[in-house]
Amino acid sequence: MTNKEPVAIVGIGQTHHVAARRDVSIAGLVREAAQRALTDAELTWADIDAVVIGKAPDFFEGVMMPELYLADALGAVGKPMLRVHTAGSVGGSTALVAANLVAGRVHGTVLTLAFEKQSESNAMWGLSLPIPFQQPLLAGAGGFFAPHVRAYMRRTGAPDTVGSLVAYKDRRNALKNPYAHLHEHDVTLEKVQASPMLWDPIRYSETCPSSDGACAMILTDRAGAARSPKPPAWMLGGAMRSEPTLFAGKDFVSPQAGKDCAADVYRQAGIADPRREIDAVEMYVPFSWYEPMWLENLGFADEGGGWKLTESGVTELDGDLPVNMSGGVLSTNPIGASGMIRFAEAALQVRGQAGEHQVDGARKVLGHAYGGGSQFFSMWLVGAEPPTR
Amino acid sequence: MAVAPQPDILKAPLVVEFPFTRSLGPVQAAFLSGLRHRTVLGVRTTDDRVLVPPVEYDPVTAAEIRDLVEVGDTGTVTTWAWNPAPRRGQPLDTPFAWVLVKLDGADTALLHALDATGPDAVHSGLRVRVRWAAERTGAITDIACFEPDDSTPEQIRPAPHTGEFEDGVTGIVAAARLDYTYSPGGAQSRYINALADNRTVGERCPSCRKVYVPPRGACPTCGVATTEQVEVGPAGTVTTYCIVNVKAKNLDIELPYVYAHIALDGADLALHGRIGGIPYDQVRMGLRVEPVWTEGGRYPDHYRPTGEPDADYDTYKELI
C-alpha cells in the first residue's frame, strides 16, 4: 500500500504552435500557456503553490536561467520555482517532478510548464558544437538517429514503407488538432513517399518541424481535484530512467532504460498487458520510424511486431491502439515543450477534452518522452478514474 | 598488457557563439524603441510603482501590466561597483563604475555604466544623466553610459506614454559568446595522440572486459577506471549507416556521403566515420572497411572497403 497523495491534472493549456511567434517575448509565450491552464482549471495565480519549468538545452536558445527570467510571468514571486533539464524528454520529466511534489505532499497545487521558441534558437548547431580534437561529421539530430532506424529495419525486417505510413497518419491527425503546428490539408501518402531523403532512410516528410510553443498543466492533490469544475485526469504511474549516450552493449533500437521506465510505470499502475489495458499512446516520435520502435520498447508489441501494428492500421486514430492522436512531434516540435505536450495530450484524452482527435472511451492513456542520445526517458500513465493502488 | 601512460593532457580553446534573435513583445519593444528616440519608458504596477526597465507582468500580483510612462533621463545612483579592467563587449573600454540608477520618476533602478574619473568620484546619491549614443538602433546600448550631472532630483509623476514610436523595433539580436578552454582529459588525449601515429587505441574495462573506443577513462557500465590499452583495427565492419544529403555548417564534405558506425576489429562499440572509395548507394551493413589516412590528418579522412567478404550479421549485431 502506497502512502503517496494521488495526483490529478485539472488544468491544461498550450499555445497554438507555429513556426515563429514574433509577436511575443518568451515571457509572453509561456504566459499564454500558463493562463490557459489556469483558465481551464478555473484557478488564479494565487492558487498556485509552486512552479516547475523545463526547457531545451541552454545552447538551443541561449536562455540559461529561465527560472530567473520567467518568475514574474509565471506568478512565482514568493513561491518555490525550479527548473528541470533532461534534453528532449524535459517536458515529461518536468511534469513528473511537479507531480512528485504533489504526491509527496510538499505542495497542494503546482503549475508545470515547458517551452521553446525554436525560431529564436539554434537547435541544429547547438547539437553540433565544434569540440576541439573531434572530427565533425554530422548535421543535426537526423543524422544521429537515421543509422538506428536502419538498424531497426534490419533487425525486424520492416519494409521501408512503414515510416511514410506513420508520417501520413500523424499529419492527418494534426488536421484535427487546432494547436498543432503543421496543418497539411493536401497531405497524401504519395507526397510523403516522394519527399526528399535527408538522412537516408529518413525522408523530409518523416521528420519533425521546428516550432514555437509552450505547454502548461496544473497538478493538484485529492482536495484540489474535488474542487475541480471539470473531470480531472489521474496519474496512475510515472517514472524516469537514464543511461549513458554510448556504452558497450547499448541498444539504440530499443534502449534498456526505456524498457525499464515503462515497466516501472506499468507496475505502479497495475498494468499486466499494456496492449490490452491501455487505450491510446501519445509518444515522442521526432522521426516517423520511432513509432514502431517505441511500440516495441514500451511493450505494446514483441520485437519485430511494432511495424506490423503500424502497417495494419492499429495505430490510426480509429484503430485499436491509437498513437499520437494530437499529430505528435512530427506535426509540432517546440523541443523543450514537446515532452509535456505528449503528457498533456494523454491527460486531455482521459478527460474527454481532446476535441476532434478524441479517442472514444479513452480511459487509460500513456504519455511518453525521450531525449539526448536515446538516453533519458520519462512516461506517465493517466486515467479517468483515481488510482486504486 | 600495456598500462596506460600519463599523457600530456591536450587543451584547446573552444568558442561557442550564437547570434540569438529575440522577439521583444509589446513592453520591451516600446522600451527599446523609446531609447532610439531618447525617451526612457517605465511601466506602472498594480500598486502604483514605476518599474524601469519595464516588465510585462507585475512582480507582486502576476497581473499583465501595460501602463507605460515616461521617466526622466536624469537620476540618482543607488549603489555601485568600480570596474577597473573592462572586458570585451562592456559599455566602456576605460575603467568605469557599474551603477544602479533610479531615474527621476522611477521606483526601481536600472543597471548601467557610469563614466567617472575614478572610484573616488562615485558615491551612492550621486546625480547622473544619460549619455545617449550618437547612433541609436533600439537597444540598451542606445544609452552609451551615464555621466555625473548637477541636476536636482525632480519629484514628478511620470506621464502616461502610448509606447508608439516611428521606426519601432520588434526584435533584437543578442549575441551570446562563451570562451572555454577545452580539455578532452587523459584517456582521450592518449587516444588522440595515438591517432597521430595512425593507430587506434582503446581501453579495456578490467571488470566487464569490454574495449572502449574512443576511451573515456572509465567504463560507464561498471563505473571503474579503464587502464589497459588495447590497439584495435585497423579494419572494421560497418554496423549501420545513413546517407547524408544535408549540408553541414563548416563541413566541407561533398554530398551525398555515407556516415557510418564502424566496429573496429577488437572494439566493443562502434565509432563513427565516413565511408569512401565506393559509390554511396553500394554501402551496406556488414561491409568490411579500413581507414584511409591523410598527411597531417588527426583522424582517418574516411574508411574504404577492404575487399573482404561482408561480415555475417550475427558477428556484429550486438555492436549496433
pLDDT in tens, A122-167: 766 666 778 888 887 766 678 889 999 999 999 999 999 999 999 9
Q: How far apart are the first and last CA of chain B?
A: 27
What is the DSSP-derived secondary structure letter of residue B89?
T
* Whether the Cβ atoms of residue A309 and residue A295 lie closer than 8 Å to each other: yes
For range A35-49, the mean pLDDT: 98
From chain A, pick out residues whose CB is under 8 angstroms from the CB of B176: 62
Which of A28, A154, A200 is facing B56, going by the closest CB pair?
Answer: A28
Q: How far is residue B305's CA from residue B319's CA, in Å, rounded to a whole number?
A: 19
pLDDT in tens, A200-233: 999 999 999 999 999 999 999 999 999 999 999 9
Q: How many Å lie between the alpha carbon of B320 and the closest alpha carbon of chain A?
A: 7
What CATH fold (topology level) applies to the domain B233-320?
A: OB fold (Dihydrolipoamide Acetyltransferase, E2P) (2.40.50)
A144 → chain B, closest CA residue: B242
Cβ of A73 within 8 Å of Cβ of B57? The answer is yes
Per-residue confidence at A1, pLDDT binned at 50, 70, 90? very low
- Domain range summary for chain B, segments of one domain joined by +: 25-169, 233-320
Which of B170, B174, B247 is facing A139, going by the closest CB pair?
Answer: B247
Extract the residue ranges of chain B whose pLDDT is less than 70. 1-7, 249-250
Burial B35-57 (b: 16+ CB within 10 A, else e): bbeebbbbbbbeeeebbbbbbbb
* Whether the Cβ atoms of residue A288 and residue A164 lie closer than 8 Å to each other: yes
Assigned superfamily of A8-123+209-383: Thiolase/Chalcone synthase (3.40.47.10)
| Strand-pair category, A50-55 with A81-84 | parallel
pLDDT, residue A124, reads: 64
From chain B, pick out residues whose CB is under 8 angstroms from the CB of A197: 243, 245
* Whether the Cβ atoms of residue A215 and residue A347 lie closer than 8 Å to each other: no
Cβ of B57 within 8 Å of Cβ of A27? The answer is yes
CA distances from A340 to A54, A88, B262 (A): 9, 10, 36
Q: Is the pLDDT of residue A28 over 80?
A: yes
pLDDT, residue B6, reads: 65
B249 → chain A, closest CA residue: A139
Q: How many Å lie between the alpha carbon of A340 and the closest alpha carbon of chain B?
A: 23
Cβ of B24 within 8 Å of Cβ of A25? The answer is yes
What is the DSSP-derived secondary structure letter of residue B170?
-
From chain A, pick out residues whose CB is under 8 angstroms from the CB of B240: 147-148, 150-151, 154
Q: Give me the residues of A, 222-251, that contact B with CB < 8 A.
A: 244, 246-251
Q: How many Å lie between the alpha carbon of B119 and the closest alpha carbon of chain A?
A: 31
Q: Is the pLDDT of residue A15 over 80?
A: yes
CA A342 to chain centre: 3
pLDDT, residue B12, reads: 94
Which of B20, B246, B253 is facing A198, going by the closest CB pair?
Answer: B246
Cβ of A200 within 8 Å of Cβ of B259? The answer is no
Q: Give me the residues of A, 368-387, that contact B with CB < 8 A.
A: none
Q: How far is residue A295's CA from residue A306's CA, in Å, rounded to a whole number?
A: 5
From chain B, pick out residues whose CB is under 8 angstroms from the CB of A45: 61-62
**B251 φ, ψ to 5°?**
-130, 110
* Whether the Cβ atoms of residue B115 and residue B90 lie closer than 8 Å to each other: no
Helix (H) / strand (E) containing B45: none
What ipTM was assigned to the predicted interfaces of this complex? 0.93
pLDDT, residue B3, reads: 58
| Proportion of chain A above pLDDT 70, given as a percent | 97
**A375 φ, ψ to 5°?**
-135, -15
| A132/B contact by beta carbon, under 8 A | yes
Which of B245, B251, B269 is facing A246, going by the closest CB pair?
Answer: B269
Cβ of B244 within 8 Å of Cβ of A247? The answer is no
pLDDT in tens, B87-143: 988 999 999 999 999 999 999 999 999 999 999 999 999 999 999 999 999 999 999
CA distances from A287 to A90, A167, A304, B144 (A): 18, 8, 18, 48
Judge if pTM exceeds 0.80: yes
Q: Which of A38, A63, A135 to mutate to test the interface with B (most CBs of B within 10 A)?
A: A135
Q: Is the pLDDT of residue A284 over 70?
A: yes
Burial tier of B171 (Cβ tally within 10 Å: 0-12, 13-18, 19+)? middle
Cβ of B25 within 8 Å of Cβ of A73? The answer is no
Q: How many residues does chain A have?
A: 389
pLDDT, residue A266, reads: 98
**C-alpha grid cell for residue A341?**
505536450
Give the list of residues 6+ apart from residue B149 with CB closer than 8 angstroms, or none.
B74, B127, B128, B129
Q: Is the pLDDT of residue A326 over 90?
A: yes
* Whether the Cβ atoms of residue B300 and residue B292 lie closer than 8 Å to each other: yes
Q: Is the pLDDT of residue A348 over 80?
A: yes
